[in-house]
Structure 1
């Protein structure tokens, strides 16, 4: 009888010990789960406070070429004093007046996307053959735009004004022949809606409605 009681006591103690050990393991698991949950909450809170990453806007053109578009340009306000406005007008001056063999066709064609239909047609009639000649490598000289100083003159109502002073450098190969100082006056406004074909090259919908270029009286001499 005594032996049976000792065996029963031993079995009870073993069962109790296993239960205690199981409870300890469960407590450890619960502590780990609580710590993981707290860490996850902290991470999610910090992520919620951060500015979400800006998406990459990609457009595929008519020949299947993918082109990335700056998100800032796609979301910029139609404001003449927005820095993005100045950036695109500055690039327009470079593209429209430069004539480098490697980039003439692409850059000049891109600049036409900023012009009204009348100005674009006039530019094509006047300069199209010259651009084609430079791109084909048959022109005697090339042109490079340097030292652009662009000033924007906002108006209460569009169109707004802008002037750009720049050097027009005449080159033969990499040799500078002469340097001229030019002033470009233009008026521009913003399109109410942006056609799909302008999304990459002119995402703000800038439209130049008037343009006049005048050569400064004092220029660099021949070299």
Structure 2
């Protein structure tokens, strides 16, 4: 009888020990999970604070044109101030000079058409009458030579009231294929202003609403090939 009672007490003790061990093990697992969650929360708070203190990302400005084509704009250009000394103003005038005078077969039609969006109506009509056939010939591959604009040096001369002035000196390189035939130095004088409101058709290519109202190009007396 005593041995049976002792065996019963031993079984009960082992059962109690097993239950206690399982409880201790479960507590350890819970403690590990709690530590992990606490660390995750601390890390999450740290990341949120860093994000809150950082400069917000600049949005992408997208315009959909009349044929449903989406085109992305540079955010700096879409939000630039109508200021002649703003770096974006110089960027677009520099690109205008290149687009208006370059004649490369692969890009002539696109670039020249884009440059017309910077001109007043009178200047754009005059340019089309004067240069339209030449641009079409280059784009079709029937022109004998092509031209490329290089080494543009642009200077802006702001005025108290518009229009503002600008001058651009550049090399006009005449090419046959990839062979340079001659190089000429040209000087371009511009007057420009900013549109009060920007039409939808200008938003992609001329988002600042730059309007060139006067333009004169003069060839320098001394050219790159000495002629």
1:177 corresponds to: 181
Moved more, 134-143 or 148-157: 134-143
Output the CA distance in 1 between the equivalents of 2:93 and 2:82.
13
Q: Does 1:160 align with 2:164?
A: yes
Deviation at 1:89, TM superposition (A): 0.6
Deviation at 1:108, TM superposition (A): 0.4
2:114 to 92, 110, 121: 110
Aligned residues: 223
1:130 corresponds to: 134
Output the CA distance in 2 between the equivalents of 1:169 and 1:20.
85
Q: Does 1:73 align with 2:77?
A: yes
Name the CA shift for 1:179/1:13 in 2 (closer, same or farther; >3 Å): closer
Name the CA shift for 1:178/1:18 in 2 (closer, same or farther; >3 Å): closer
Give the secondary-structure state (helix, strand or coil) at the position aligned to 2:32.
helix
Deviation at 1:20, TM superposition (A): 4.3
1:205 corresponds to: 209
Output the CA distance in 2 between the equivalents of 1:57 and 1:72.
10
Output the CA distance in 2 between the equivalents of 1:51 and 1:78.
24
Q: Mapping of 1:1-223 within 5 angstroms?
A: 17-221=21-225
Name the CA shift for 1:5/1:153 in 2 (closer, same or farther; >3 Å): same
User: TM-score w.r.t. structure 1 length?
Assistant: 0.86
Moved more, 15-24 or 149-158: 15-24
Contact 1:177 1:222 in 2 (8 A): no
CA-atom RMSD in angstroms:
2.5
Output the CA distance in 2 between the equivalents of 1:147 and 1:18.
81
Deviations 1:155-186 (A, max 9, x none): 22222110001112222333333222111111
Output the CA distance in 2 between the equivalents of 1:100 and 1:21.
78
Output the CA distance in 2 between the equivalents of 1:38 and 1:103.
55
Give the secondary-structure state (helix, strand or coil) at the position aligned to 2:106.
coil
